[in-house]
Amino acid sequence: MAIEIEGERSAAISEQTVMIEKHLNNRYPFIQDQKDRNFLNFMNTRIPFCSFEIEKNDNFLKELLIKSLIKASDPYDSAFCRHGYEKHPSFIEALTILQETIFDGDVEIKHALEAVDINKKVIPDTRYIVESPWEVSGGQVVKAKAIFLDVPTVAYKFLSYHYGHPRDPEIYRYINREYEGHSTSRVITAYLQKKIN
């Protein structure tokens, strides 16, 4: 009986990992470098989103981040960040500042972890935060921030919506192992943080 249960468990995990990979490849194809076919597709807006390793520090990452911010600010692009545009008056200014500081190589990337309730189950919800240094803008000292959706969160939410809340911890270990350090190009929001003396 134990062997049969283990076989069922293994089959269920295998099915879920295949479905996760298909979902990510369709919605957020992974781009490894400038030679990747999807790199040109993303840069030419043939695909709205992609995913990539965000912890690299090179020109490739700079190009992807800047293009992600440009797409998020364009109301005619399917990657337009409506939430940021409607909720944060400083949204466009923050994106502009970040494009300049990313180009100069002067940004910090942080990883933030929260928890969200989906289908009455709490799942990890992680974000990458791209920040500019403090600078003076409009007579105030501000820092521009853009929040990017990370790949493990996309995978967790996909599982939760399509399979309920998987109880097997192995599927979460798989997600963390396979997609750690991977971000999507989807900008959730952007804003200016004001320095308080």
Number of separate domains in the chain:
1
Give the residue ranges of DSSP H helices in the chain: 2-27, 37-43, 59-73, 82-87, 91-103, 151-163, 169-179
What's residue 92's pLDDT? Answer: 97
What's residue 116's pLDDT? Answer: 55
Full domain range(s) for residue 67: 2-194
Q: How far is CA 30 from the centre of its chain?
A: 12
pLDDT in tens, the chain (197 residues): 333 446 677 887 888 899 999 999 999 999 999 999 999 999 999 999 999 998 777 899 999 999 999 999 999 999 999 999 999 999 999 999 999 999 998 899 998 876 555 555 565 678 899 999 999 887 889 999 999 999 999 998 898 888 776 667 888 889 989 999 999 999 999 999 998 86
Q: Are 79 and 72 in contact (CB under 8 A)?
A: yes
Structure tokens at 112: 């933030």
What's residue 101's pLDDT? Answer: 95
Contacts of 165 (CB under 8 A, 6+ apart): 118, 119, 121, 123, 159
Type of residue at 164: G
pTM, 2 dp: 0.88
What's residue 1's pLDDT? Answer: 30
105's torsion region: left (phi>0), alpha (psi -120 to 50) or beta? Answer: left
Rounded distance, CA 139 to CA 141, Å?
A: 7
